[in-house]
């Protein structure tokens, strides 16, 4: 049986924290990637900067506890779907004492 082609991915804007992208050569705080879900977005970031997924996701896989992903202002998980043109913010939690 022939494999059906995947649907085209949506181009989304991703904003990353500066202190995270400094860890990667040619890191950028604003990138556009093609993805239909946050999971595919993580795959695209990993393809661009190997090791990025390990900084953002744990082994379950799930978004790490100290990382927050927001899609168009709403908290998101790996299975969150992305619409074309979505704004994605990836933020690190801030703690202190």
User: Residue 94 has what pLDDT?
Assistant: 73
pTM: 0.86
Per-residue DSSP letters for the chain? -PPPPPPPPPEEEEE--HHHHTTSTT--SEEEEE-SBHHHHHHHHHHHSTTHHHHHB-SSSSB-TTEEEEETTEE--TT-B--TT-EEEEEE-----
User: Residue 11 has what pLDDT?
Assistant: 95
Residue-level pLDDT, tens digit, the chain, 97 residues: 677 666 666 799 999 999 999 999 899 999 999 999 999 999 999 999 999 999 999 999 999 999 999 999 999 999 999 999 999 999 998 765 5
CATH class of 11-92: alpha beta
């Amino acid at each position: 049986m022939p494999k059906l082609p995947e649907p085209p991915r949506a181009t989304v804007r991703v904003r990353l924290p500066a202190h995270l992208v400094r860890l990667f050569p040619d890191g950028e705080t604003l990138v556009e990637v093609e993805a239909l879900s946050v999971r595919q977005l993580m795959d695209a970031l990993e393809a661009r900067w190997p090791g990025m997924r390990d900084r953002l996701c744990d082994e379950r896989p799930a978004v790490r506890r100290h990382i927050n992903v927001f899609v168009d202002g709403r908290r998101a998980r790996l299975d969150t779907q992305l619409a074309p043109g979505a704004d994605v913010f990836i933020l690190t939690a801030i703690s202190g004492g």
